[in-house]
Amino acid sequence: MNPIRLALVGTGGRGQIYVDVVKRMPAGRVVWAAMCDRNEGVLNDFCDRNGLTAPRILSVEELVRRNDIDAVLICTPDSIHREPAVACFEAGFHCLVEKPLATTPEDARAICRAARRSGKLLHLGFVFRYDPCILKLRELVAGGAIGRVIACITHDAIGWFHGSTYMRRWNRFRKFSGDMLLHKGCHTFDVINFITGAYPARVAAFGGTEVFQPREGAASHCHACRLTDDCIYYTDQGPEYRERFYNTAGPQVLPEDMCVYNNEKDSTDTVSLTAEFTNGMRLSYTLSMVSPQGRRRMTFIGTRGEIRCDMEEYRIEYWPLPDRPVDVIEVPRPTGTGHQHHDRALFSHFLERLEQGDDPERGILDAYMSGAIPFAALESLQKGEVVAIPSP
Ligand X SMILES: NC(=O)c1ccc[n+]([C@@H]2O[C@H](COP(=O)([O-])OP(=O)(O)OC[C@H]3O[C@@H](n4cnc5c(N)ncnc54)[C@H](O)[C@@H]3O)[C@@H](O)[C@H]2O)c1
Contact set with ligand X (CB under 6 A): 9-15, 36-39, 42, 60, 75-78, 80, 84, 98-99, 125, 127
Please say which residue, 261 or 350, places its beta carbon nearer to ligand X: 350
> Which string of DSSP letters, residue by residue, matches 242-262?
HHHHHHHH-S----TTB-TTT
Nearer to ligand X, 157 or 259 (CB): 157
- Residue 72, Cβ density class (10 Å: 0-12 exposed, 13-18 middle, ≥19 buried): buried
Which residue of the chain is nearest ligand X when measured via CB?
Answer: 12
CB of 318 to ligand X, least distance (A): 28
Compute the distance between CA of residue 138 and CA of residue 146 in angstroms, rounded to an integer. 11
- What 3-state DSSP class applies to 36? strand
Cis (ω within 30 of 0) for the bond into 77? no
| Least distance from ligand X to the Cβ atom of residue 196, Å | 21
Is 87 or 140 the residue whose CB approaches ligand X more closely?
87
For residue 322, whether the previous peptide bond is cis, meaning omega lies within 30 degrees of 0, is yes
Least distance to ligand X, CB of residue 162, Å:
14
Q: Give whichever of 35 and 203 is closer to ligand X, judged by the CB atom.
A: 35
Q: Nearer to ligand X by C-beta: 13 or 390?
A: 13
Q: How far is the CB of 260 from ligand X (least distance, A)?
A: 21
Enclosing H/E stretch for 57: strand 56-57
Nearest distance in Å: CB 187, ligand X:
7
308 — alpha (psi -120 to 50), left (phi > 0) or beta? beta
Which C-beta is closer to ligand X: that of 98 or that of 306? Answer: 98
Report the alpha-carbon distance of residue 100 to residue 81 in Å, rounded.
9
- Give the Cα separation of 212 and 227 in Å (integer): 15
Q: Which is nearer to ligand X, 9 or 387 (CB)?
A: 9
SS3 call for 162:
helix
CB of 45 to ligand X, least distance (A): 10
| Rounded to 5°, angle at Cα 9 from 8 and 14 | 75
Closest contact distance (angstroms) between CB of 121 and ligand X is: 17
Nearest distance from C-beta of residue 229 to ligand X, angstroms = 35
Residues 249 and 162: their CA atoms lie apart, in Å, by 7
Cβ nearer to ligand X, comparing 41 with 143: 41
Burial 25-58 (b: 16+ CB within 10 A, else e): eeeeebebbbbbbbeeeebeebbeebebebbbbe
